[in-house]
Amino acid sequence: MNEKELIEKIRESVIQGRINSEDEGFDDGYEGQPATVELIEEAVGNNVDVRGIVIGGLTSGMDVVGKNFETGKYLIPDMLASAEAVGAAMDILAPHLERAGVESKGKFVIATVKGDLHDIGKNIVSIMLKGAGYDVIDLGTDVPAEKIAATAAEQKPRFLGLSALLTTTMREMEGIIHLLKNNGVRGDVKVLIGGAPTSREFAEKIGADAHCADAFQAIEFTNSVGVA
Amino acid sequence: MTGDFRPGVIVRPYERLTKEEVGAIDEASLSILKETGIICFNEEALSLFREKGCTVEPVDERSSKVKIPSKTMKDALSTVPSVVKLGARDPRNTLILDSKVPRIYFGSGSETNVWLDTKIETFVSATNGERKRDLPVFVEERGNVERLATSAKLAEELDSLDFFIRPVNIQDEDITEMNHDVNKFYISLGNMTKHVQAGLTNLDQLDNVIRLAEIVAGGKEAFRDNPIISFITCAVKSPLQMVDDATRKLIEFAKRGLPFVVSSSPQGGSTAPIQEAGMVAQINAEILSGIALAQIVNPGSPVLYGSVPVRARMDNLHDMYGAPEFNQYNIDCVQMARYYGIPSYSTAGVGDSSTPGVQATIEKFFTHIPVAMSGAQYIHYSFGLLDRTNTFCPVQAVLDNQHIGMIKRFLAGPRMGPDDFNESLAQINKVMGSGQKLYARFVRKGLRTGQVYSHYPFESRDGEDRVIEMALDHMNGLLSRPGKDLSPGIEDEIFAQVPGLLPRLKKQRK
């Protein structure tokens, strides 16, 4: 397989939402064929230009996935499968991208706040952001404000995503923003909040930069802000 | 039974009555037949009953009371086939009704006079001219041959509809009592490949109707093997009166070995006791008397146990279908049919509401689900009926199709085989080894194959209630598909051999 064919295969694998060869695709008949992980490894082994892989394979594939979702052909599971495939590809490509001087779209720290164990929404946002090319640091659930603020100071992310599903735990968010200010990093990080009880009004009240109802709004916001 | 047939859904029956209660109803019904008797207005039936040892006592110059001994009744029941096959133009649409197998099928019915058209109009708020809403407007039209053809074409496309009983009457000026039957069967058979069932308006037309069905099925022999049409008789008018005309039809269907329904439709509170025990004992006696007559005429005659017990509304004595008692009566009857080993023709899905909407949906679901759960083999009245059984609304039929599909999916048996567990355990292992621990990607296969229910298809993206508007769009899409016309050769043969068909029904071909 030459370079062009390999990148096209990677793109196809992303569209099909396949991480490795045992995965099924959106369409029938893919099981057993090399998928994103195997193809990326082959490409890296063949010294294929990593920019070409990212732009021609991963990003181009996700563009098709996004369009298929908009038209209703794809549903959330299909989007997530493709985003996970891109995420797996990025894990392999990360050191190569760094060596090639290619920057990611930015670091994104994400966490469910203290006292709250809900993580479905947060996980979906994580997968989708990773699939969209962000360097995601997922701190998990029930994360103390101090840990979030410390990670923000240490990792210097472009974005911080806070999730809460309870009216009792969403109040934590205001304290975290307060800590970011105290640590002197608030100006360097955009804070996105989400979760069922949150709202745009609540985001404004606590001084967050955006309220995102779902992963798509999160990506829309981060892309609108641009890479640091 | 082997070969192609519609799979239906085999349910684990919900049973309302205990074995003892079923026995008590049987005993009560036999007692009604033996002691109270049935008033019979048909001479041939009286003579047949008399020959089988029944007591016949004159009531007046037009009728006599027949008292059926329990032995006669039991002998008659012993010859009823436990399996009835209803054929179809497309053999894959054949229905196998096996009294021992609670495989459920849903179909249409009622022969309403009113056809309810749906239009969407834009309304402007009286208090805020900027606010506009598209809302459904319903227009009543008379049933006619074109609308019957449309209903048959639609029924062909509704995937949850397993059989067709015409939902709308043909009231055209050129339709007469003498040509009514051939035209209604021709229109039905000419637009669909599923089983067609109807009552017969005029017994003199039976030969013509059968000839029509034989041509469509491919000949006399083919029709015998694949009975693409069947009939409904309501020989017993409640309470406990065997009427002349319908009884003549019952006898003739039985003589010819045609499959047919022996149906009774008492109304609790007016033509039957409102109490469950009394209602079910009476309707059971009524149905059994008709079935007994069919078996006396022709032992082994294929019949369905047809129960349409309803409740009377006490403000106007109209039928009431969305009543809790309706479910009780009907489920009891399904159990009685199972007890006798006769396939059950039951009833569900009629809206008392006169237009589609919240009330109609509640009333329909309220009977669709429990009657389906009872394991009735053949559930009629289930598509598009509103205003009790007076109105057929095709958009409502589209909604009912969706809802019945959901019910069938819900009632489908659990998938708990070794492969299901192996696949699930592999999935659990994979997900637990991943970072985000989400199963969403494994839903994809099920979504594509239809094993996983996606979402309510008439839900609008903007959050407005556009269910009826979207169902209307869906219906128009279904009706724009190519029709299942008969071949020109078959059509020519029918028009050459079957008198009474309206020439305008012949499809215009280039």
Q: What is the pLDDT of residue B110?
A: 87
Burial class (CB in 10 A: 0-12, 13-18, 19+), B361: middle
Among A26, A124, A127, the residue with its CB nearest the CB of B444 is A26
Q: What is the pLDDT of residue B3?
A: 67
Q: Which of B212, B223, B165 is nearest to B190 (CA)?
A: B212
Please work out, in degrees rounded to the nearest 5, the angle formed at the alpha carbon of residue B268 by the alpha carbons of B369 and B280: 70
Q: Residue B5 to residues A62, A168, B65, B87, B147: CA-CA distances in angstroms?
A: 44, 57, 43, 9, 28
Parallel, antiparallel or unpaired: strands B260-264 and B303-307: parallel
Q: What percent of chain A has pLDDT over 90?
A: 72
Chain A nearest CA to B383, separation (Å)? 29
Q: What is the pLDDT of residue A100?
A: 84
Q: Which residues of B touch A26 (CB under 8 A)?
A: 444, 448
Mean confidence (pLDDT) of chain A = 92
- N- to C-terminal Cα separation, chain B: 42
User: What is the per-residue pLDDT across A188-205, written as a single tens digit (0 to 9) for each?
Assistant: 999 999 998 999 999 999
Nearest residue on chain B to A70, alpha-carbon basis: B461
Q: Inform me whether the pLDDT recorded for B222 exceeds 70.
A: yes
Token pair, residue B278, equals 């009394």
Q: Inform me whether the pLDDT recorded for B256 exceeds 50.
A: yes
Strands, E assignment, B251-399: 260-264, 267-268, 303-307, 310-312, 319-320, 344-347, 378-380, 385-386, 391-392
Q: Which residues of B touch A77 (CB under 8 A)?
A: 440-444, 447
Q: Is B432 on the interface with A (CB under 8 A)?
A: no
Mean confidence (pLDDT) of chain B = 96
Q: Kindly report whether the peptide bond that precedes residue B239 is cis, defined as omega within 30 degrees of 0.
A: yes
Q: Which residues of A touch B443 (CB under 8 A)?
A: 77
Q: What is the pLDDT of residue B510?
A: 45
Question: String of b and e for B116-143 (b: at least 16 CB within 10 Å)?
Answer: bebeeeeeeeeeeeeeeeeebebeeeeb
Chain B nearest CA to A184, separation (Å)? 31
Rounded to an integer, the average pLDDT of B125-153 is 96
| ipTM, interface predicted TM-score of the complex | 0.79
Q: What is the pLDDT of residue A228?
A: 45
Q: Inform me whether the pLDDT recorded for B1 exceeds 80.
A: no
Rounded to an integer, the average pLDDT of A52-77 is 91
Parallel, antiparallel or unpaired: strands B310-312 and B319-320: antiparallel
Chain B nearest CA to A57, separation (Å)? 20
Q: Inform me whether the pLDDT recorded for B155 exceeds 60.
A: yes
Q: Inform me whether the pLDDT recorded for B499 exceeds 50.
A: yes
Q: Which residues of B touch A76 (CB under 8 A)?
A: 440
Among A84, A123, A126, the residue with its CB nearest the CB of B441 is A84
Q: What is the pLDDT of residue A226?
A: 64
Higher pLDDT, A182 or B1: A182
